[in-house]
């Protein structure tokens, strides 16, 4: 109880540090870019890594960089026991912000900016927890290492570089999800599909379509060009779009046809119900138009039937399924392009423990093949750490100590940084019920909740690494 009170007082007294450190990281647009010498994931992620290491070193921690991919800060020089694995890269800002996404702004008890929740604010909270344990002089016999990566949002290509040089500590958590503890993560099924056709002359027809910018982001916006059709033909659809699909649909005449745009709501692919998918909405709108009977039209209508708007459970594909430990299978249609001679697309499937080759991949491939598409993509296994493990129980106890709420294990559709780390779990920083607008406009973190998370982390460090 004495240690808990000391931790609480120390963390509360350093609230300004949490805000300042997070703001320094948010100011850097660390979206993946073209590789460069010393910056394998682009200039932005490397700048964020340099800044994070400078912050850690400024607090007196020993830091190390691994090939511009990963940086670390050690609490002490003792034997490793706990790794805290966060990341500094972010998804693109998208549209619809009420603030500058790269200028952290305090408003209504929250800090707004890209990365405040995912994952720069949590990294700053973990650093604050390590400072707390150090400054309070908590007796330790093991080390805690803060690991800061730069490619979590694009496939975690940074981690092989690090783990080829360092062993994972006996315990690892990532502060990149929510509380209490997420010990089960769905597997992945993210196939690419395509269909080609000869150049067409029939009118009206779709000649172009662009939707999505990242596999793990529900696109709010999508745009298409229809040759041989003027905008007046879409007046009824435009008027009913909000009611039918939850989007704003606009049509503008261009030479030889119409340009159609929809605007929905961006969200993380792991929680497709939080967004309004511009791709699927626009596909349904196009499928409803009086288009010519030609290969492009048939492909559009088939695709809309396979991946319909608001069908994020894969019912139309015939792969809907669920289990108690990991929940429901989800499907997010996140990338689509159409040109004069073909279509290219990809969906992001998050699959539960019960999903396998026969009841998921093979069925989806058969449905696409029946519609004339070629499709390819492997299934990635789920991740599960037993709730009964001493590590998980210690984390839950630390959570309960500062929240007064019973801790429990949960599952997530998001593939976190610990997905391939044996025994790893996601732990914080978002409290249940708080909306962070993850991967969308106006991303935010609750300052109060993030301070509580830092307290929880500090107690967990003391319990796991203490003498």
DSSP letter for each residue of 48-74: HHHHHHHHHHHTT-EEEEETTTEEEEE
Q: What is the pLDDT of residue 265?
A: 95
Round to whole Å and give the CA distance between 84 and 145: 6
Please tell me whether residue 193 adopts helix, strand or coil conformation.
strand
438 pLDDT higher than 90: no
Contact (CB, 8 A) for 262 and 247: yes
pLDDT of residue 105: 98
Average pLDDT estimate for 234-263: 95
Pick the closest to residue 393 from 425, 371, 347 (CA basis): 425
C-alpha dihedral over 153, 154, 157, 163, to 10 degrees? 20
Q: How wide is the angle at C-alpha 177 spanned by C-alphas 406 and 447, nearest 5°? A: 80
Q: Would you state the pLDDT for residue 413?
A: 82
pLDDT reading at 397 higher than 90: yes
| Domains delineated in the chain | 2-186+383-465 (3.40.630.10), 188-380 (3.30.70.360)
Average pLDDT over residues 350-355: 94
> Which pLDDT value is given to residue 455?
98
Q: Residue 415 has what pLDDT?
A: 75
Q: Does residue 354 carry a pLDDT above 80?
A: yes
> What's the pLDDT at 416?
87
Q: Is 328 exposed, middle or buried (0-12, 13-18, 19+ CB in 10 A)?
A: middle
The answer to whether 101 and 90 have CB atoms below 8 angstroms apart is no
Tens of pLDDT, residue by residue over 376-385, are 999 999 999 9
Percent share of the chain, pLDDT over 90: 94
Buried b (16+ CB within 10 A) or exposed e, 241-272: beeebbbbbebeeeeebbebbbbbbbbbbbbb
Residue 278 near residue 219 (C-beta atoms within 8 A): yes
pLDDT at 414: 72
pLDDT band at 439 (very low <50, low <70, confident <90, very high): confident
- In this predicted model, what pLDDT tens digit does every residue of 113-132 receive, in sequence order? 999 999 999 999 999 999 99
In the block, residue with structure tokens 């459970």: 313
pLDDT band per the 50, 70, 90 thresholds, residue 300: very high
pTM strictly above 0.85: no
Q: What is the mean pLDDT of residues 356-362?
A: 97
Residue 390: count of CB within 10 angstroms of its CB: 9
Report the pLDDT value the prediction gives residue 463, as an integer from 0 to 100: 97
- What's residue 467's pLDDT? 78
Mean pLDDT of all residues in 433-457: 95
pLDDT reported for residue 39 = 97
Mean pLDDT over 401-418 rounds to 91
Q: Return the bridge partners of 339, or none.
A: 342
Query: What percent of the chain lies above the pLDDT cut of 70?
Result: 100
Rounded to the nearest integer, the mean pLDDT of the chain is: 96
What are the tens digits of pLDDT across the range 131-141? 999 999 999 99
């Amino acid at each position: 109880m004495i240690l808990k009170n000391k931790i609480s007082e120390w963390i509360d007294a350093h609230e300004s540090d949490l805000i300042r450190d997070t703001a320094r990281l948010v100011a850097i647009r660390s979206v993946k870019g073209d590789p460069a010498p010393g910056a394998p994931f682009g200039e932005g992620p490397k700048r964020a890594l340099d800044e994070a290491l400078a912050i850690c070193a400024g607090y007196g921690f020993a830091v190390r960089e691994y090939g511009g991919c990963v940086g670390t800060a050690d609490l002490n020089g003792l034997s490793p026991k706990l790794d805290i694995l966060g990341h500094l890269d972010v998804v693109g800002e998208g549209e619809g912000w009420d603030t500058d996404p790269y200028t952290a702004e305090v408003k209504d008890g929250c800090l707004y900016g890209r990365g405040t929740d995912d994952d720069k604010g949590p990294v700053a909270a973990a650093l604050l927890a390590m400072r707390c344990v150090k400054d309070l002089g908590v007796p330790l016999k093991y080390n805690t290492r803060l690991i800061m990566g730069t490619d979590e949002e694009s496939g975690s290509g940074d981690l092989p570089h690090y783990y080829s040089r360092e062993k994972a500590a006996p315990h690892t958590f990532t502060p990149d999800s929510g509380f209490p503890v997420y010990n089960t993560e769905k597997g992945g099924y993210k196939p690419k599909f395509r269909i080609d056709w000869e150049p067409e002359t029939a009118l009206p027809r779709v000649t172009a379509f662009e939707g999505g910018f990242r596999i793990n982001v529900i696109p709010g916006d999508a745009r298409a060009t229809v040759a041989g059709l003027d905008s007046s033909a879409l007046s009824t659809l435009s008027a009913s779009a909000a009611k039918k699909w939850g989007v704003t649909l606009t049509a503008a005449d261009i030479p030889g046809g119409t340009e159609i745009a929809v605007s929905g709501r961006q969200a993380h692919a792991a929680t497709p119900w939080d967004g309004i998918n511009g791709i699927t909405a626009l596909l349904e709108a196009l499928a409803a138009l009086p288009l010519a009977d030609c290969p492009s039209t048939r492909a559009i209508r088939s695709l809309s039937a396979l991946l319909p708007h608001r069908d994020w459970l894969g019912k139309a594909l015939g792969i809907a399924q669920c289990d108690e430990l990991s929940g429901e299978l989800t499907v997010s249609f996140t990338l689509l392009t159409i040109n004069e001679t073909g279509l290219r697309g990809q969906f992001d499937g998050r699959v539960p423990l019960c999903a396998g080759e026969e009841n998921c991949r093979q069925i989806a491939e058969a449905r696409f093949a029946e519609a004339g598409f070629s499709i390819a993509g492997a299934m990635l296994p789920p991740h599960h750490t037993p709730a009964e493990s001493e590590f998980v129980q210690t984390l839950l106890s630390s959570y309960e100590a500062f929240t007064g709420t019973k801790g429990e294990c949960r599952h997530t559709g998001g593939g976190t940084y610990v997905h391939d780390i044996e025994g790893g779990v996601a732990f914080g920083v978002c409290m249940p019920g708080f909306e962070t607008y993850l991967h969308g406009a106006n991303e935010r973190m609750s300052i109060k909740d993030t301070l509580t998370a830092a307290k929880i982390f500090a107690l967990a460090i003391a319990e796991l690494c203490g003498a």
